[in-house]
Chain A
Amino acid sequence: MSMARKPLIVLGVLLSVFSLLATQCAPQATPAPPTQAPAATLAPATQAPAATQAPAKKRVLRITFAWPNRIDPAVGSDYVGSTSLANLYDTLVFPNAKGGIDPWLAESWDVSPDGLTYTFHLRKGVKFHDGTPLKASDVVYSFNRLKTIGEGYAYLVTPGVASVRAVDDATVEFKLEKPSALFLPSLVRLYIVNEALVRQNTKPEGPYGENGDYGKEWLQTHDAGSGPYMVKEFPLEQYLLMEKFTDWWGQFHPNAPDEVRFIGTTEAVTVRSLMENKELEISDQWQSFEAYKALEQIEGVKIAALPSMSSFYYMVNTKKPPTDDIHCRRAMAWAFDYEAAVSLEWPGTKQMVGPVPATLAGHDPNVFTFHRDLDKARGELAQCKYANELDKYPVDVHWVAEVPDEEKWALLFQSNMADIGIKVNVVKVPWLSMVENTSKLETAPHIATIYVSSDLPEAGLMLKQRYHSSTTGTWQQNEWLQDKELDAAIEDALATLDQNERFAKYAKIQQQIAELAPSIFIYDQVEKHAYRTCVDWPATRGESSVVMGYQLFAAHIGVDCP
C-alpha cells in the first residue's frame, strides 16, 4: 500500500465511525407504560389476538416557557407560575372572556348590603387530587397561608380582608375592612390547597412559627390542588409534566390533553426545531419578530396574536422641565407618529385608546386619543413656557436594555420630536437601573419607556397602578403625577360596587388623565404564540379570559395532532 493512499483510508475509517454513530444503530428504548389507562380500542375480529387491544394514543400538549417555574400557590405569580397554578388548582371564581368572573368552586355568593361581608356557597362533591373532599376550612387555610407567607399574589388578594371563616363545610365567609370592587375579581388568584396534605408535608422548622415552613419546600415540586391537572414529574430546571385529573368536577374539552408538559426553554433554535419535529404544540411568547416569521413558515403552524392586559407607555415626568409644562407634553403627544409605531409591531396590534388597555372591563373606547398632527403640536408648543429655550432642555428617553426592540420606538420618537424642534437623547438603560432611577425624582428621566400589565381585568386597578400617588417612586409610575383629586377619584371608583356607576367613574378618570397627557399611550400589547393548527385553542377565537395564565387553561384546549 502506498503512503499516498493511507490518508484516504484513515479518513474513510473516521467517516465510517461517525456514520455509525449517527445512524442510531443502538436499540430503541421501550416506552414506559402510560400511567393512566387509555381507552382500549377493540380491533376487528380478524386480527390476531395479540393485536386485539391497542392503547389509544395519548393526547399531549407541550408548551415552552421562560423559566424558572414556581408552583407554590403562595409564591408563584409570573407567567409560567400563573399558568401552572391555573391548571393545578381551583379557585372560588373563574375569569371569563368578557372581563368578568363566573362561579367556579363557589356556586353562588351573597353580599351584605354594606358590601363588607361575602358569603360563598361551595360546590359539593369536589375532590382534591388525593381524593380528599374539598371543604370550607381548606379555603380558610389557603387564605391564611397566602397572607402569612405574603409572597406571590398575596398583595392582590389579602389586603382589605379583615377575616375569613368557615361557616360550615360548604360555606365560607369573608369580611372586608371597606367595600372594594376588586375583591371578587381578585379571588381568581386565591388557589385552594388541600390543608391536610400540606400539613402532612410541612417541615416543623421554618420562618412561619407553628406552621414551620408552611409546606413551601414540598409545594415547590408537588401540588395539593383540585384543578384539572396534577403534577406528575417536575425536574426543576427542565419541565413540568402534568397529567389529567379524571375526577375533576369540571367539563374537559372532548380532546383535552392527557398530559401537559411545560418545557423550560425559550431558545429560538430549540423552539423552532421542536415545532418542526412536531414535538411542540404551542410556543412561548418571547420569540423575536424574525423567529415568529420563521415559525410561521412551518407547515401546520400559525401565529396567534392574543390580546393581553398589557400596554406600552412612554411615561412622561410631570415634575421635571420641560415636561412639567402640560403644553410641552401635549405637543409631544400630537407630534408622535402612532401609526408608524404600531406598524413596527406584529400585525393585529392597535394603538392604545386612553390610559388603560382596551381589554380591561371599564375601559372607555370613546376617550380622547392623540394622533399625529404637527400643526396642533406646534400650536401647543407655542404655549409651552420653554418654547423659546428648548435647546436648554433636551428630553431624555430611557429605554430598557433587556428589550432591544424598544430602541426602534425611541428612535422614531426622536425623529418625530425633531420635526417640532424638541431635542431628544435616547438612552439605553438596564432594567435594574431603570427601577433605581425611577424610584427618586432627582434621577427619574423625562421619559421612561415601559410595558405595564394589569393584574386583573379591571380598569380601576390599572388606573391605581399607574396614576395613584401610592405608586410614585416605583417603576410603574415615572409620571410623578401626585394629584390628590385624582387619587380620591380612583379610590372612590374602586369602592363603588355598582358596576355601571363604577365604570362611569372610570370613564371620567380616563378622560381626565388623557387631557393631562402624563403619558404617551403607544399600543396595547398582543401576546404572540406559534401554535400547531391541530390544537383547538379557544384563546385564538377570543373565547378565554385575558387574565395571565388562563389563556393556556389546558382543560379547555383540544389536541388532535397526528
Chain B
Amino acid sequence: MSLLSFLVRRLVHAVFVLFGLSIVIFIIARVMPGDPARMAVGARAPQWVVDRLRAQMHLDQPLVVQYGYWLRDALQGDFGLSLVTQRPVTRDIQEFFPASLELVLFSGVLSAVGGIGLGTLSARYKDTWIDNLVRLFSYAGVVTPSFVFAILFVLLFGFTLKWFPIIGRLSENVPAPPTITGLITLDALLAGQVGTFADALKHIVLPALSLAMGSIAQEARITRASMADNLNKDYIAAARALGVPERIVMGRFLLKPSLIPTVSILGLDIAATLSIAFLVELIFNWPGLARYGMTAMLHKDLNAISAVILVLGAAFILANILVDVIVAQLDPRIRLRAARSE
C-alpha cells in the first residue's frame, strides 16, 4: 500500500469518527444541568430575553432539528456564536488554538528530547546510579499531575529564583510581532524581532516544561525498557564483536528500532496535552484552547464546547496518522507487512 492510499484511507475514517464525535458531544453538552441561555444572559434578565436567545440558538426545537441546523452551519465552517465571548466560535478558535499549538509543540520537543535522552542514558548506564536516578524521576513524573509541576516551577523559578516570567506570552513592554502563524516565537523570528523571540521563549519554557514532565518521564521509561530489551539481541552482540564503535551501536543499531513504542506513545501524549493543559494554562495565564474549552463547559457554551471537542478530536486523529507514518518509516517490517496485505 502506498503512503498516499494509506493517508486517504485514514482520512476517510477520520471523517466518520469526527461525525460520530459530533453527535456524541452534541447530546452530552445538552444533557448537562443548567439552561445555557439563562446562564448566558444572567440570573436576573427577564424571561423574554432568555426565550429570544433560545429561539436564536434553536434550543426551542427538537434535538434532531437542532443537530441539523448545527451540522448545516458546521459544514460551512460556521460553528455558531459563543455565549461567553459573544463572537463566532470559529474566530475564537483561530485566536486561541495557535497559543495552545505553540505550547504543545514546545512541550512535544521537550518530551521527545528529554524522554528519549533520559531513556537512552538510562539504558546505556543500565543498573548504575544514573539508571536508578532516572527511574526515580520517571516514577515521580508519571504520578505527578502537570499542574503540580506548574505550581512548583512558578514557586521555584518564578517566585524564588525569578529566572522566568510567570504569566502570559510576552512581557508588558515587549512589542508583539505581526501575526502570521499565531505562534509568537515563530512570528517573531519571521519578522526578525530577535528580542521578542527571546522574550516569548522565556515565557513558554515553564508552561511547556510543566506539560512535558509527565511525558518525559513516561517516554524515558518506555525508551529504556525497549532499548534494554533490544540490547540482548544477537545483532547487537554481533556488532560489538565486529568492533563497531559503541556510539554507533547505541545510536544507529539500538535506538532506531527501540523508538517505535516511544513514538507511538509520544504522538498520543502530545495530542492529549492539548486537552489537559487547562490548569497549566490557567496558572500561567496562557490564552490557550484548553482554557477556552473549560470556560465554555463551566458556562455551558454549547457551540464552543462542540467546536473545541471536534478540534481536539481532529488533533488526536492527526497525531495517530502521523505516528503511523513515522513508525512505518522507522520499521521497514511494518511497511512490508502493509504492502503484503494489500
Contacts and interface: CB of A to CB of B under 8 A. Distances in A.
Instruction: Classify chain B: how many residues form its interface, as a range.
Output: 35 or more
Of B85, B155, B194, B286, chain A has the most CB atoms within 10 Å of the CB of B85
Contacts of B128: 7
A500 B178 CA distance: 61
A216 B86 CA distance: 7
A32 B174 CA distance: 5
Interface string A262-282: 011101011011101101000
Contacts of A236: 85, 92, 95, 287
B42 interface: yes
Contacts of B284: 270
B159 A276 contact: yes
A11 B130 CA distance: 8
Given A11-B130, A261-B172, A279-B166, A237 B33 contact: no
Contacts of B193: 29
Interface stretch (A135-143, A147-155, A250-258, A311-319): A147-155
A48 interface: no
A300 interface: no
Interface string B152-177: 00110111011110111111111100
A150 B46 contact: yes
Contacts of B235: none
A155 B50 CA distance: 13
B49 to A, nearest CB: 4
Interface stretch (B8-16, B195-203, B225-233, B324-332): B195-203
B250 to A, nearest CB: 12
A191 to B, nearest CB: 16
Contacts of B46: 150, 154-155
Interface in B89-118: 92, 95-96
A31 interface: yes
A267 B42 CA distance: 25
Interface string B248-271: 000000000000000000000000
Contacts of A207: 52, 56
Nearest to B170: A29
Of A7, A270, A474, chain B has the most CB atoms within 10 Å of the CB of A270
Nearest to A155: B44
Contacts of B95: 235-236
Contacts of A15: none
B162 A277 contact: yes
Interface in A455-490: 474-475
A72 interface: yes
Interface in B109-166: 121, 125, 128-130, 151, 154-155, 157-159, 161-164, 166
B202 to A, nearest CB: 6
Given A29-B174, A207-B52, A75 B168 contact: no
A433 B32 CA distance: 12
A112 interface: no
A220 B285 contact: no
Nearest to A475: B43
A436 B34 CA distance: 9
A32 to B, nearest CB: 4
Instruction: Classify chain A: how many residues form its interface, as a range.
Output: 35 or more
A538 B52 CA distance: 42
Contacts of B151: 269
A28 interface: yes
B96 A237 contact: yes
A191 B163 CA distance: 43
Nearest to B285: A265
A331 B202 CA distance: 62
Contact of A31 (B33, B96, B173): B173
A45 interface: no
Of A21, A60, A220, A269, chain B has the most CB atoms within 10 Å of the CB of A269
Interface string B13-54: 000000000000000000001100000011111101100100
A217 B295 CA distance: 18
Contacts of A272: 159
A436 B38 CA distance: 13
A24 interface: yes
Of A6, A22, A29, A77, chain B has the most CB atoms within 10 Å of the CB of A29
A26 interface: yes
A77 B328 CA distance: 56
A204 interface: no
Contacts of A273: 154-155, 158-159, 166
B292 interface: yes
B86 A77 contact: no
Contact of B45 (A155, A235, A264): A155
Given A77-B42, A236-B95, A279-B166, A29 B198 contact: yes
A67 B295 contact: yes
Interface in A264-315: 264-265, 267, 269-270, 272-274, 276-277, 279
A67 B49 CA distance: 23
A29 B199 contact: yes
A365 interface: no
A27 interface: yes
B130 A10 contact: yes
Of A28, A263, A436, A474, chain B has the most CB atoms within 10 Å of the CB of A28
A31 B174 contact: yes
B72 interface: no
Nearest to B283: A267
A516 interface: no
B49 A150 contact: yes
A155 to B, nearest CB: 4
B236 interface: no
Contacts of A220: 85-87
B159 A277 contact: yes
B84 interface: yes
A150 B45 contact: yes
Nearest to B99: A237
A95 B193 CA distance: 47
B167 A263 contact: yes
Given A27-B194, A29-B174, A31-B174, A265 B41 contact: no
Given A150-B45, A236-B85, 8 more contacts: A11-B130, A27-B194, A28-B195, A220-B85, A237-B292, A239-B168, A274-B167, A277-B159
8 residue pairs, one from A and one from B, having the closest CB atoms: A29-B195, A26-B198, A150-B49, A31-B173, A237-B287, A273-B159, A29-B199, A32-B175
18 contacts: A11-B130, A23-B163, A27-B194, A29-B170, A29-B198, A68-B299, A75-B86, A150-B49, A207-B52, A220-B86, A220-B87, A236-B287, A237-B295, A238-B287, A265-B282, A269-B283, A270-B283, A273-B166
